[in-house]
Structure 1
Amino acid sequence: MADSSEDLKVRRKAAAAESTRWLTGRRPSAADTLRKLADVATDEQRDAYGAGGEVALLEAETAELLGKPAAVFMTTGIAAQQSVLRVFADRAGIQRVAAHGLSHLVTRELNALEEVHNLRIEQFTTDLRQPRPDELAAIPGPLAAVTLELPLRDAGYVLPTWDELVLFAEACAARGVPLHLDGARLWESAPYLGQSVTEIAELATTVYVSFYKGLGGLSGAAIAGPVDVIAEVRRWQRRLGANPSTLFPYAVSAREGLRSVLPLMGDLHDRAVELAVALQATGFRVFPEPPHTNSFRVYAPRPADKMERAAVRRMEATREALTWIWQPADVPGWSWVELVVTPDTLAWPVDEVAKAFGELLED
């Protein structure tokens, strides 16, 4: 009798604990994390509620990288984006912002903008692509801000082309509405767009970036933009309880990510493209094709329960972890999983990864 989904979860957890090789990397233990932080921390004094110390250094570095006059470090991206969008709404006296229907703001935050700030989100579209200028034009009435998630994770990490991004930014400027870039993975987007993060950020009034996703930090985010806007964001940071008595562990790990991982983003994107080609030759499909960032979706011509059983069996036999849990796809009989290429992935030869995935399709 086949294992139930709950049994498979138990087996996967046990196999993961025993795995010695992880395609996308394994989160270090708490003790190892603390030791690394001690090794890379400077002799700066600890910040006080986000002021001074490593936090100030991180904010200055982030502002310089993004070509903005100022930046503020926040504990979470959710608090960061709530704060900046609230600032734009208060300044304009308008309670409406525009976003993609698959934006993180819409799908993953329990209606925070509506429930906490009484802001209404006007949706461009729910299609698996970036929004277009004509969809912005189709939204009537005044808007406090327009947000653009780069890449759009819930659509498969999709990006616009550089020319499309420029046209969209110009449409926002022509309408007189601030463009805010939801750049949780902005660092990862630069190789595909063919521009520096400074050039990308120049198109927008404000930019949000994350330090724990592609950069591997503990947690945290930043908002960069004009000095006066960032000053008001800091007030909302306090109101939302997003500046505890010290933030230095997060700032230390974020600065280390900027030093050690950011320079690898081009290599990670190149490897994602190589893996996509190899996996398609093995019997899988990928989206987008080619990948726009270091992350993409892998589709398998087998149901999710069969793929998951095969994945767990392989983990138990090889002590190698390839992916997270396989999910049912929209097409009956198919399944999908996200594949995120990290610095650890670079240690795996492409043909070895393709062979390992191919084993999941075998009976």
Structure 2
Amino acid sequence: MEAARAKVAQEVRFDINASNQAEVNAKAYRAIARSFVSDTVTVPTPEMYQYAMLGSLGDDVFHEPHTQALEAHLAKITGKEAALYVSSGTQSNQLALRAHLTQPPHSVLMDIRAHVNVHEGGGLAYHCGAATVAITPTNGHHITLDEVKKHIILDNQLGHAAVTRVIELENTLNGTIFPQDEIVAISDFAHSKGVLMHLDGARLWHVAAETGKSLTELCAPFDSVNMCFSKGLGAPIGSILAGPKDFIARARVLRKLFGGGMRQTGFLAAAAAYALTNNFPRLPAVHKLAQKLEAGLEALGVTITSRAETCMVFFSCEGLGFDASEVVKRAEALPDPITLFGERLVVHIQTSEEAVDDLLALFKALIEEKRAAGLANGVATNGSATSASPYVKA
């Protein structure tokens, strides 16, 4: 029997770390510093790991001290009664909408580019049986109160349409800041009609850092708010959902129902706390670096289709003799590769200024090559902002 057990133990054994794992990780840090794919590529630093190692020991389905402390802190700074730590922004949005929506038929009104509409696998329909009312903003930036009034469904006496129960807004959306006065106007109207408000504030940290507005002020117009620790702040995992106590209690039950109840989350809560303290103050520098990238591209004649209000720049190579796919291939082929995702460039807390300079140098080289070959028109664009495609990577 002992021999059989030893054999099974040998089969189970698995050493996942390479003998040179520290060197492998150092290369990964370098690659992340040269990635413009998303701010989700950021990784914990040794300092964050060291802090997280001291995280409390408990079971979050029952009682986990650091996780509960993190939830209480986020409830306080968002001005809400309670909060719930969850594994992802998608889960946070889906739990919020499921907790708000009880019995179909019902609909959710949103921007057509919203994450819940484009990047959450149809979860709104799957989990909530909800229809969507997706608005394309005529200003190319954000939906307005007038557009909400035009599209909201408040009456279903004839049974033709599903009544709007929730308005979902996103801030930032594709890196752009939703004007707070417009949000307040939409919220006042919604609440006057008995319609709830949910904020996908995955990157709301950027809005607070750029505008100087408190999270309480930014969240006040909403009945529930989702904010990510792994977007912008560089924590390894997790989002927070904040709202009224009874709403959060319902969301906690739904989290368990969806298989999202986590156990020993103390070290993850500690990592999030480290990110709040040490990484949030770095966001203004991220915005400045994104603005440097935008200005450099525009000076080369690259069209800016959505400006760097926070951490993202959208561009077009129209008229330059090449497209974004060629930029991606050439960037990957550099001796020190740069990774991109199409026409969206995301700057994050681990992006190096060297990477920005190298990317601008690549654009310059490509433009000069195409002009020499007679493939580019050589005319610089005015860089005016237009709406970005709704179908971009989160």
Matches of 2:274 and 2:42, distance apart in 1: 15
SS in 2 for 1:134: helix
Describe the shift of the 1:262–1:218 C-alpha distance in structure 2 as closer, same or farther (beyond 3 A). same
Q: Does 1:125 align with 2:136?
A: yes
Aligned AA (1:324): L
> Please, what TM-score do these two structures have when normalized by structure 2?
0.74
CA contact (8 A) 1:47 1:55 kept: no
Matches of 1:19 and 1:152, distance apart in 2: 28
Deviation at 1:123, TM superposition (A): 1.7
Deviations 1:255-304 (A, max 9, x none): 22112111122222233223312221122222323x22112213333223
Q: Does 1:108 align with 2:119?
A: yes
Task: Provide the residue aligned with 1:149 in structure 2.
Answer: 170
Deviation at 1:222, TM superposition (A): 0.9
CA contact (8 A) 1:94 1:144 kept: no
Describe the shift of the 1:18–1:312 C-alpha distance in structure 2 as closer, same or farther (beyond 3 A). farther
With 225-234 and 45-54 compared, the bigger mean Cα shift is at 45-54
Describe the shift of the 1:21–1:320 C-alpha distance in structure 2 as closer, same or farther (beyond 3 A). farther
Deviation at 1:59, TM superposition (A): 0.9
CA contact (8 A) 1:76 1:242 kept: no
CA contact (8 A) 1:97 1:122 kept: yes
Which of 88, 92, 99 is 1:80 aligned to? 92
Bigger radius of gyration among the two = 2
CA contact (8 A) 1:19 1:320 kept: no
Describe the shift of the 1:361–1:255 C-alpha distance in structure 2 as closer, same or farther (beyond 3 A). farther
Task: Provide the residue aligned with 1:312 in structure 2.
Answer: 332
> Please, what TM-score do these two structures have when normalized by structure 1?
0.79
Task: Provide the residue aligned with 1:284 in structure 2.
Answer: 302
Matches of 1:188 and 1:362, distance apart in 2: 35
Give the total of aligned pairs: 327
Describe the shift of the 1:119–1:340 C-alpha distance in structure 2 as closer, same or farther (beyond 3 A). same
Which of 152, 169, 190 is 1:172 aligned to? 190
Q: Which runs of 5+ in 2 are unaligned?
A: 1-26, 155-162, 370-394
Deviation at 1:108, TM superposition (A): 1.5
Deviation at 1:73, TM superposition (A): 0.4
CA contact (8 A) 1:23 1:345 kept: yes
Aligned AA (1:185): R
Give percent identity, aligned residues only.
25
Deviations 1:11-65 (A, max 9, x none): xxxxx97966833489588xx8688424434352233327322211221221122
CA contact (8 A) 1:208 1:222 kept: yes
Matches of 2:29 and 2:286, distance apart in 1: 26
CA contact (8 A) 1:47 1:54 kept: no
Q: Does 1:46 align with 2:62?
A: no
Task: Provide the residue aligned with 1:208 in structure 2.
Answer: 226
Matches of 1:173 and 1:355, distance apart in 2: 51
Deviations 1:106-161 (A, max 9, x none): 112221121222122222336643211122212222422110011223xxx33322
Matches of 1:80 and 1:21, distance apart in 2: 26
Matches of 2:91 and 2:189, distance apart in 1: 27
Matches of 1:176 and 1:251, distance apart in 2: 35
SS in 2 for 1:207: strand
Matches of 1:265 and 1:96, distance apart in 2: 35
Describe the shift of the 1:96–1:278 C-alpha distance in structure 2 as closer, same or farther (beyond 3 A). same
With 198-207 and 348-357 compared, the bigger mean Cα shift is at 348-357
SS in 1 for 2:164: coil
Q: Which runs of 5+ in 1 are unaligned?
A: 1-15, 328-335
Deviation at 1:220, TM superposition (A): 1.4
Deviations 1:164-223 (A, max 9, x none): 222222222232212111111111122444522221011211110011111111121111
Q: Does 1:255 align with 2:273?
A: yes
Describe the shift of the 1:161–1:119 C-alpha distance in structure 2 as closer, same or farther (beyond 3 A). same
Matches of 1:214 and 1:197, distance apart in 2: 15
Output aligned runs, 1:1-363, within 5 Å.
Answer: 22-24=33-35, 36-42=48-54, 44-49=56-61, 51-90=63-102, 95-125=106-136, 128-138=140-150, 139-141=152-154, 142-153=163-174, 157-289=175-307, 291-300=308-317, 301=320, 302-313=322-333, 315-316=334-335, 319-321=336-338, 323-325=339-341, 327=342, 336=343, 338-345=344-351, 347-348=353-354, 354-363=360-369
Aligned AA (1:149): E
Matches of 1:324 and 1:197, distance apart in 2: 31
